[in-house]
Amino acid sequence: MDTNINPLGPNRAETSHPMMEEQWAQQATFERHLSEPQQSRRRQAGAGSSRRILSADQADPTDMATQGRHMNLVLVSNRVADGKPNEPATGGLAAALLPVVEDSGAVWMGSSGDPSQNSGDPSQNKASVHELGNGALVKLELPEAEYAGYYDGFANSTLWPALHSLSERISVSNSDRNYESYHTINEIMANALLKFGDRDAFWVHDYQLLVLGAKLREKAIDRPIGFFLHTPWPGPDVWQRVPHHDELIESMMAYDLLGFHTERDCRNFLDCVHSDLGLRSKDGVVASSRGLTRCKVFPIGIDADQFAQYAAESTSNSKVASLQSGLNGEKLAVGVDRLDYTKGLHERIEAFDQLWTERPGSISLLQVATPTRAKIEMYSKYRDRFVEDANARHATDDWIPIRHQVEGVSQKVLAGLYRAAHVAVVTPIRDGMNLVVKEYVAAQDPNDPGVPVLSKYAGAADELKEALLVDPKDISGIKRAILEAMEMPLDERRSRWEAMMKTLRENSLQNWSANFVGELENSRFVARVPPNRLGNIGLGRTAETQFPSEVLERARDVLMRPLSRTPPPTAFEQSTSSYLGGQSDPADSEYDAEASSRASPTR
Active site amino acids: 230, 431
Which residue(s) pair with 468 in the sheet?
453
d(CA 601, CA 596): 8
d(CA 199, CA 71): 8
Element at 259 (helix H, strand E)? strand 257-260
Q: Residue length, the chain?
A: 603
Sign of CA dihedral 566, 569, 574, 575: negative
Write out the DSSP string of 512-562: HHHHHHHHHHHHHHHTT--GGGHHHHTTTT-TT----HHHHHHHHHHHTSP
d(CA 424, CA 485): 9
Write out the DSSP string of 431-458: BS--SHHHHHHHTS-TTS--EEEEETTB
Q: Cα–Cα distances in Å, from 187 out to 160, 191, 192, 193?
A: 20, 6, 9, 10
Residue 464 three-state SS = coil
In terms of Cα–Cα distance, which of 135, 102, 108 is closest to 33? 135
Buried b (16+ CB within 10 A) or exposed e, 110-136: bbbeebbebebebeebbbebbbbbbbb
In terms of Cα–Cα distance, which of 472, 460, 498 is closest to 92? 460
Under a CB-based contact definition with an 8 Å cutoff, are residues 432 and 229 in contact? Answer: yes
Element at 451 (helix H, strand E)? strand 451-455
Under a CB-based contact definition with an 8 Å cutoff, are residues 32 and 84 in contact? Answer: no
Residue 410 three-state SS = strand
CB atoms within 10 A of CB 385: 12
End-to-end CA, the chain: 36
Which residue(s) pair with 523 in the sheet?
none
Residue 434 three-state SS = coil
Sheet holding 331-338, edge to edge: 402-405, 363-370, 331-338, 423-426, 451-455, 468-470
d(CA 392, CA 339): 21
Q: Cα–Cα distances in Å, from 254 out to 198, 251, 294?
A: 18, 6, 11
In terms of Cα–Cα distance, which of 329, 330, 333 is closest to 420? 333
Residue 455 three-state SS = strand
Cα 404 from chain centroid (whole Å): 27
Instruction: Return phi, psi of residue 12, to 5°.
Output: -60, -35
